[in-house]
Structure 1
Amino acid sequence: MALRCAQNLREFRKDSLKHYSADIVYELERAGESFKVQQQAGSLDQLRRCPGR
C-alpha cells in the first residue's frame, strides 16, 4: 500500500525564517491489524526563504 502526503517545515535560526515543502511517499506493509513503514521516499519541491522579523 502506498501513502502520499505533503510535509511543511519552518525553521527559524539566526533571525532567518526558512520554509521547506516536500512531497513524501510511504510504502506500507501489513503487520497484523496495523501497518509498518517499509520504505520512505520524498523530493524537496520548494525551498523558500522568508525575511526574519
Structure 2
Amino acid sequence: MSNKKLSTVSLGTFIGMTIALAASIRNIPDVAAAGWPMFLYMAISTFLFAYLFV
C-alpha cells in the first residue's frame, strides 16, 4: 500500500471551477443572441450560486 496524500479541493476552488464551466466559451453564441441583459442574468446566477452553496 502506498501512503499517497489525497489532494482535496476547497469550496472556493470548487465554486470557481463550476462558475468557469457555466461561463465557458460554449455560451458565447447565447450571450450574443440575448445581448447585454445576458450579462446581468449570468451575474445574478453566479451570485445566487455562490450565496446558496457557500
Name the TM-score, length of structure 1 as normaliser.
Answer: 0.19
Higher relative contact order (CA 8 A, sep 6+): 2
Task: Considering fraction of residues, name the structure with more strand.
Answer: 1
